[in-house]
Chains A and B, each alone.
Chain A
Amino acid sequence: MKEKLTVVTSTCVPLPLENVDTDQIIPARFLKATTKEGFGDNLFRDWRYNKDGNPNPDFVLNQNTYKGEILVAGKNFGSGSSREHAAWAIGGYGFRIIVSSFFADIFKNNSMNNGLLPVVVSPEFLAEAFETITADPSVTLTVNLPDQTITNNATQRTEHFDINAYKKDCLINGLDDIDYLLSNKSKIEEYEKSL
């Protein structure tokens, strides 16, 4: 069972860069673990820490200004490598929602398989979110998964977001695909007989 996800209202961490690839989210040299724990410590490692290992004060995660369970990122977030470690790193750090105008496919699946919800918003919603959050870091967004809506509480701009019914159900109830697939095993055996 994964943690259930329904409605989240939170302040946000803005990352207005485009094409953030999974090598930036978690560099390859940190992929050598055999468990899923601890990846949050190295989230955005090479942006977050200088070469000498000290925190880079210019990077958003090192600024006390921005905190929260929602990461707001530029378009095409999570491109590149299929490493699920990227989702483990973001979830491990404490984020539950990622908001962007565009996500890479494999990253999107990996996130949802780990109780981390990628919310696709319009470029206008995203631009406004960056603007309001940087003007006032106490601004919150509300993501309502059952209703499939996201609201910028500073401006009351609300948008509907898409998610398929199956994945929505999994996230709300903390279920995963294996639970479902195992319950459907007789169909797999039937299919194999037809080959």
Chain B
Amino acid sequence: MSKTLFEKIWEKHVVDTLPDGTIQLYIDRLYCHEVTSPQAFAGLRSRGLKPFRPDKITCMPDHNIPTLGQERPIEDPISKKQVDTLEENAKLFGLTYYGMNHPKNGIIHVVGPENGLTQPGMTLVCGDSHTSTHGAMGAIAFGIGTSEVEMTLATQCIMQRKPKTMRIVVDGKLKPGVTAKDIALYIISKMTTGGATGYFVEYAGEAIRNTTMEERLTICNLSIEMGARGGMIAPDEVTFEYLKGREYSPKGKDWDEAVAGWKALCTDEDAVFDKEVLFHAEDIEPMVTYGTNPGMGMGIKDSIPAMESIDEAGRISYKKSLDYMGFNAGEPIQGKSIDYVFLGSCTNGRIEDFRAFASIVKGRKKADNVVVWLVPGSWAVEKQLKEEGIDKILEDAGFQLRQPGCSACLAMNDDKVPAGKYAVSTSNRNFEGRQGPGARTILAGPLVAAAAAVTGVITDPRELMN
């Protein structure tokens, strides 16, 4: 019988099926960070249990850690306690742990792929909704709650209902100046934040096939922002090329065997999805958000939708959202003055994002009215951008690099945008208060962020491109 990519991997991981269809699913990899794991480890201990398969678990702090002064202990005692708790749990149970300032530390969704820990065909979970990132490598990867982290620690399994399947095809070719982030924000703006709830999405089509591995990670990362359980892309030569030689990738004869198996991980031609959606790459413009959820996005030259275009049940929420942002329905946002720029996060904190940012700011200067936080997704990214001399380009333009971590994406450390200030952010959520209480977030890709950083206003990056 013909199967989708999702079904092929899912079915291989079913341990048991209950009479009502609930599945006991085997998990190949569990990633733990400091925020959503302490209660799971505590639960494990109170039941007198140990991790069932410690070799399948990798731990690292990323949410709380400062992006300056990582050489010193964390100053905030509550953050420090949470980070220390993860280290203690990892040590107690013999789990792989990349602590703050360790050369392999960084945002878990950046570190997993760059070390070859995430591989095609795997099932992978983490107590973080952006675990969907790893689906880019042809894995079933999704975010779970702390109870489910505890289940995985205890039994390497979780209880799940099989999600419905959706294929999103993006055909054609992207226009210059349009990035993977724009593809994702465009799709989410069309699907809305709940449009893929209940589904596991496979991205396909010419525009997806033509992306680099890092661009795929950005696209799959944002799957959760339309409610999807996860997103995935069939592995191909791009995936294999990326994985080859990485620390945890198979080596030698094992590599050849693994690739042979991974090549079978694709949706069969006549496989049936529960839902199919088609978009055209040439319709996609550099995107920005204007509201307080990632579905409220538009092309950078567009105007904010008029109140009349919103269905009646949603108008209270729509008005609340625009009031929070200090925007009016019907107005454009291009040219609006901004206060902060954040480049980083599990969405856009990789080397290609820094290359893109640098391509715009090279030979220009940071705008005086803007505070800019450039936060590499991992120490490996930081090392590479120094090797490529990107740090020099950024310095010459008046920018400073910070140290890796989740940073201003969710402002659990000191990187908080003040109330009422506007931030153009390459992160994933523009929710009220996400970047600090009262902060106003405009989500965008690295090129739009760079254009804003040097002009001080919302600017179409194509105007600054050669």
Chain A residues with CB under 8 Å of chain B are 16-19, 21, 23-24, 27-29, 31-36, 46, 51, 74-76, 79-85, 87, 102-106, 109-110, 113-114, 123, 127, 164-167, 176-178, 180-182, 184-185, 187-188, 191-192
Q: Interface size on B (CB < 8 Å)? A: 71
Query: Does B293 contact A21, Cβ atoms closer than 8 Å?
Result: yes
Tell me the smallest distance from the CB of A155 to a CB of chain B, in Å.
19
Q: A76-B197, A187-B24 are in contact. Are A181 and B127 (CB under 8 A)?
A: no
Query: Does B158 contact A177, Cβ atoms closer than 8 Å?
Result: yes
Query: Does A110 contact B145, Cβ atoms closer than 8 Å?
Result: yes
Query: Does B20 contact A165, Cβ atoms closer than 8 Å?
Result: yes
CA distance A166 to B160 in the complex (A): 10
Q: A16-B316, A84-B145 are in contact. Are A166 and B20 (CB under 8 A)?
A: yes
Q: Can you show 19 pairs from A to B with CB atoms below 8 A apart?
A: A21-B293, A28-B434, A34-B82, A46-B432, A51-B437, A51-B438, A74-B317, A75-B194, A79-B194, A82-B128, A105-B197, A105-B198, A106-B145, A110-B147, A165-B22, A177-B148, A178-B151, A178-B155, A191-B15
CA distance A191 to B79 in the complex (A): 39
Query: Does A32 contact B412, Cβ atoms closer than 8 Å?
Result: yes
CA distance A109 to B431 in the complex (A): 22
Q: A16-B316, A32-B35, A51-B438 are in contact. Are A84 and B146 (CB under 8 A)?
A: yes
Across the interface, B437 reaches (CB within 8 A) one of A32, A46, A165, namely A46
Chain A residues whose C-beta falls within 8 Å of the C-beta of B224 in the assembled complex: 80
- Closest chain B residue to A190 by CB distance? B15
Chain B, 64-82, contact with A by CB distance < 8 Å: what is the 0/1 string?
1000000000000011011
Q: Is B47 an interface residue (CB 8 A)?
A: yes
CA distance A24 to B432 in the complex (A): 7
CA distance A184 to B316 in the complex (A): 48
CA distance A102 to B148 in the complex (A): 22
Tell me the smallest distance from the CB of A190 to a CB of chain B, in Å.
8
Across the interface, B429 reaches (CB within 8 A) one of A46, A80, A182, A184, namely A80
The stretch among B36-44, B233-241, B365-373 that forms the contact with chain A is: B36-44
Chain B residues whose C-beta falls within 8 Å of the C-beta of A80 in the assembled complex: 129, 224-225, 429, 431
Q: Is B1 an interface residue (CB 8 A)?
A: no
Tell me the smallest distance from the CB of B28 to a CB of chain A, in Å.
10
Query: Does A83 contact B20, Cβ atoms closer than 8 Å?
Result: no
Chain A residues whose C-beta falls within 8 Å of the C-beta of B24 in the assembled complex: 181, 184, 187-188
- Closest chain A residue to B154 by CB distance? A178
Q: A19-B293, A127-B313 are in contact. Are A34 and B38 (CB under 8 A)?
A: yes
